[in-house]
Structures are given as structure tokens and as C-alpha cells.
Amino acid sequence: MSNKLTNRFQPIDALRGIAALLVVWQHSSEAFIKHLGIAQHGTFLADIAKDYDFGRIGIICFFLISGFVIPSSLNDCDSSGIKHFAIRRFFRLYPAYWVSILLAVIISSVFISTPDVSTIAANVTMFQGLFQQPHLIGLFWTLQVELVFYILCAILFYFNLLRNELFIFVLMTLFFGIFVLIQISPYLTGNPLTLHKEVQLLPYLLSIMFLGYFYRKIYDRKYQLTHIHTDHNKRLNIYTLMATIMCLGLPIILLIMYFIGFDFIPHSFRFGMGHTLGFVLFLSGLVLLKRVPKSLLWLGVISYSLYLFHPLVMRVFIQLTKSTDILQGFHVSFYMMVTATLSILLAFFIYTFIEKPAINLGRKLSRP
């Protein structure tokens, strides 16, 4: 049992690495296919990533992982858990994030123009969307969702509600209902939606993250970490099943409607496939990944830095390719491979010298 317990989170680390690679695939293929006249060599790798929304698959997998990990890490804490949780999350996210901002500003200044001071200052907080400022790197919007989820979990923990499965189920049902109401409001009022897309998606993404909370409960039960009464066991199964039907049912319904010729929302196929396959990736990883290769575990360890810094590698590589004839005219796979390789190397460097020391410092400062 000890080896089983030691290795039980390896699938999560592996899923982080896979999710990060999917995001890199989509971003790099879409970016390079638009430049350098390489579309003539074939666009299949870019088309499949766009049609099935590989980036969304990776992001949904990341959000499920957060729901799987974060509430349990808080519930394992004592009465001072919020303070320790805040310290560890801060040092886990912000140091590497600030380095990415610094590099983004430098790269923009060299190749385009220096961002406004107000934009930079807002991005430093990671809540730039609340200040109606643009993201210096487009994927920063996902980090805002993560922070909102962290804050919600901390509030629930403070009021001793994070262990209350019924309350969590009702809360995620409420978020899901808000999302659906927002989406159908144009049909009810006759007025187009004016909410920013990030705000529209937030309730649905939060419900997905809380679904990860229920998957963790089921997963822990598999390893017999806690004794669960039979009635409680049945309730947990019901909550998990209903929550899954609710969150996964929406993209599946959109796919069915698309195939019968009715688009309820713009790009309903991409939305449906991206979210559905995100669930499939996460759940199949938990069930099927038994012996995880060390290379994939290592990729999971550096996945946050890989996620943050690959757009910057891509920007520089695009500019170099535009100005260097010898780098032009290859198949899109060449540019994808170079981007992924350089991004992984940079992510390893950032993890080793920025991210890991910051994580260790956060653990040291948050020790009881």
C-alpha cells in the first residue's frame, strides 16, 4: 500500500505535462501557419488543433486538476490553514509569473512597443481583467480564474464549508445556472451579450473546478484514505454523477445539436469538443495512467513555467524567422518542434532558478 500511496498522484503530474503540451501545440501551430508562407507545405497539424481546440482541452484539464488538488490541500490544514495556503500559493504562482511579465515587456519593447505603465501595473497583480486592462500574455486570463477559485476555497474553508459536500454541490449548481442564464439572456431579452467573454465563462469554469473536488473524494476513497459510511458513500456517488452530467452534459448537448444542424452558440463544435475531450483526458489519465514515464513526470513538474513562457519563445522565434531567410520555408512541424524544445529548456531554467526556490521559500515561511 505504501508504494501505491506514494505513486497515486503521478497521473496528476503527468496530466499537467500533457495539458501544457497541448496548449503549446495549438498556440505554436496557429501562430506559424499565419506567417512565413508555410501553409503551402500542409496545415493538418494546425487544423486539427484548431478544430478540436487542443488549447481548451489542456485548460479544462488544468482546471479539473486544480479542483482535484486545491480544496484537499486546504482541508488538510489546521486552523491557520488560510495563512499557510496563501503564502504557499503566492510563492508558487507569482515569482515565475512576474519574470514572464518582465520578459513580455522586454520583448514587446524590442519588437513592437513598450506597454503602458498602467497595463504593466495591472498585470503585476494578476487581476488585470478587473481593471479592464489587457493581458500582456493572452493566457494570463486562466490564472485569474485560478485565483478566484483559490479565494473561494479559502472563504469556504474559513466558514467550515469546504468539507460540506452538499453545500459544494449546491454552489457549483448555482454557478452553472448563472452561466446558462447568461448564455440564454439574448434570447430572453432580445439584446446581445455585452459581458466580456472571460466573465461569461467564469461561472462555468468554477463549476468545473468544483467538480474536480468531487473526483478527488472518489479518488481518495479508492485508496481507502478515510473511512466512509455507506450512506455517505451513496450521497457522494450521487453528487459526483449529477455534477458530471451537469458540467459534461452541456458540451455533449452542443455537439449533438451541431451534428443535427443547429448551432446554439458560435463555434459550438469547438466548445463542445474542447470541453468534452478535456474531461476525457483528465478522467482517462486518472484511470489508465499506472506507470508514468519519468520524462512525463518531469514535464509535469515544469508545466507551469512551460505554460507561462512558451508564448514568449514563440514571439521571439517568429521575429527571428521573419528576418532570417535560412529559417523560412519549412513545414509547420519544424516550427512547432523548435518552439516546444526551446520552451521546455527555458521552462526548466525558470523552474530550477526561480520557481523551485520560491516554492521552497513558501514552504519554509508557512511551516507551523
Instruction: Render pLDDT for 72-111 as a digit per residue (tens, 0 to 9).
Output: 988 766 656 888 999 999 999 999 999 999 999 999 999 9
Amino acid at 221: R
Coil vs helix vs strand at 190: coil
Mean pLDDT of 274-284: 97
pLDDT for 79:
58
* Maximum C-alpha span of the chain: 69
**CB within 8 A of 327, min separation 6: which ones?**
320, 321
User: Rounded CA gap, 206 and 66, in Å?
Assistant: 10
User: Rounded CA gap, 366 and 368, in Å?
Assistant: 6
Report how far Cα 109 is from the mean position of its chain's Cα atoms. Answer: 28
pLDDT for 306:
98
User: Rounded CA gap, 55 and 139, in Å?
Assistant: 10
DSSP 192: -
More confident residue, 3 or 230: 230
pLDDT for 1:
42
Of all residues in the chain, the percent with pLDDT exceeding 70 is: 95
Question: Across all residues in the chain, what is the average pLDDT?
Answer: 91
Handedness of CA 319, 320, 325, 330 (dihedral sign): negative
pLDDT for 188:
83
The tens digit of pLDDT for each residue in 281-292 reads: 999 999 988 888
Contact status, residue 60 vs residue 279, Cβ threshold 8 Å: yes
Q: How many independent structural domains does the chain possess?
A: 1
More confident residue, 79 or 176: 176
State the residue range of the domain holding 19: 2-365
Place of cell 469538443: 273
User: Rounded CA gap, 352 and 330, in Å?
Assistant: 33
pLDDT for 367:
80
**CB within 8 A of 97, min separation 6: which ones?**
126, 143, 308
Say whether pLDDT at 229 is over 70.
Answer: no
The tens digit of pLDDT for each residue in 28-66 reads: 999 999 876 788 888 999 999 999 999 999 999 999 999
pLDDT for 2:
43
The tens digit of pLDDT for each residue in 115-132 reads: 999 999 999 999 998 888
